[in-house]
Amino acid sequence: MIKENTGIPKYKQIIKSIEESILNGVYKRGDKLPSINSIKFRFSLSRDTVLLAYNDLKTRGIIQSVPGKGYYVKTENVDTQQKIFLLFDEFNGFKEELFNSFIENLGDNIEVDIFFHHFNHKVFNKLIYDNIGIYNTYVIMPANLKETNLFLERLPTDKVYILDQMHQELSKYPSIFQNFEKDIFTALSNGLELLRKYKKLILLFQKDIEPKGMLHGFEKFCMKNDFEYEVIDKIGDRAPERGEVYLIPDDRNLIRIIKKIKELNLVLSKDLGIISYNDTLLKEIVEDGITTISTDFNAMGKRLAEMIINKEFAQIENPNNLIIRKSL
């Protein structure tokens, strides 16, 4: 509860400070608040400035005044406008479900401002720096950016949440994230029976874009189950062969491979298999159904909203599913 000589008006600082104290349980219902004079002296303010703040809270029904005695907390229901700073990596279709379920599961009077760092450290830092102190909650998607913790230090620790990708340096923050290594390992394990039909597993892995955990989980699975395997970064002129299963994180590559399969008159799920990463609507009907490994973005958005509303500290691995369709 301190005041300065800059930016936001003093009386608004007082209001905000009292609201937060109530939210954090410093003041309970019925508690007496400091008198106007005590605040006036403590922070060297005009009496009017303090009065302005108390009157605002009074007209909003949060505190009540008892003439001759003082001010008391009337209700702990401080529906102060919550503002959330949401920093995504980039704008793409997969964010649709996540963002919309997040918004829906937050209350109506919570405002979310969205930003994109485009995998650029400078942009990331500037966005953090320029928005310090303006929001009640900061949700950060670090993606593959390293050492973001150095800049996140500038934000109040208890107001930061990490989303989608987790790094060791960020372990002090609550988070909900994909465990790519575990997800791909267990998903493949769940599909083991079907995979036994095939001879060789091939992962299409672009190391600048895809998270490393994906690669590790894939290799772990193949070694444990004695699968022949290969990791390639692009399709190029490669011709798919019988007995292969392709694990494809990127949809452009998915299209290329399906076209090649048709050119070669191969038959999906007989001659060879496909597993795609991230489920989208149309994958249900492409080639009578593409098998996907996919995190539940809906659940991720919902759980994140709950964590924020309940001020819950948790570090959660988001649920992931293998959706088996005809392509395997």
Partner DNA sequence: TCTAATTTGTGCGTATGTATG
Partner DNA sequence: GCATACATACGCACAAATTAG
Residue numbers of the site for a copy of itself (CB under 8 A)?
5-9, 30-32, 61, 64, 66, 68-69, 72, 74-75, 77, 90-93, 95-96, 99-100, 103, 113-116, 118, 126, 129-130, 251-252, 254-255, 258-259, 262, 280-288
Question: Of DNA, a copy of itself, none, which one does residue 37 interact with (CB within 5 to 8 Å by kind)?
Answer: DNA
- Give the H/E segment covering residue 304: helix 297-309
Residue 108 or 193 with smaller CB distance to a copy of itself: 108
Other C-beta atoms closer than 10 Å to the C-beta of 119 total 15
Q: With beta carbons less than 8 A apart as the criterion, state whether 184 and 290 touch.
A: no
Residue 31 or 97 with smaller CB distance to DNA: 31
Q: Per rule CB under 7 A, is residue 131 in the interface with DNA?
A: no
Size of the chain, expressed as the number of residues it contains: 328
Residue 10 or 167 with smaller CB distance to DNA: 10
Q: With beta carbons less than 8 A apart as the criterion, state whether 283 and 289 touch.
A: yes
Contacts with DNA, 14-53, as mask; x by CB under 7 A: -------------------x-xxxx-----xxxxxx-xx-
DSSP for 188-200 reads HHHTHHHHTT-SE
The string over 238-264, giving b where at least 16 C-beta atoms fall within 10 Å of a residue's C-beta and e elsewhere, is eebeeebbbbbbbbebbebbbeebeee
The DSSP output letter for 58 is: H
Question: Of a copy of itself, DNA, none, which one does residue 117 interact with (CB within 5 to 8 Å by kind)?
Answer: none
Binding site residues, DNA, CB under 7 A: 9-12, 33, 35-38, 44-49, 51-52, 54, 58, 65-71, 132-133
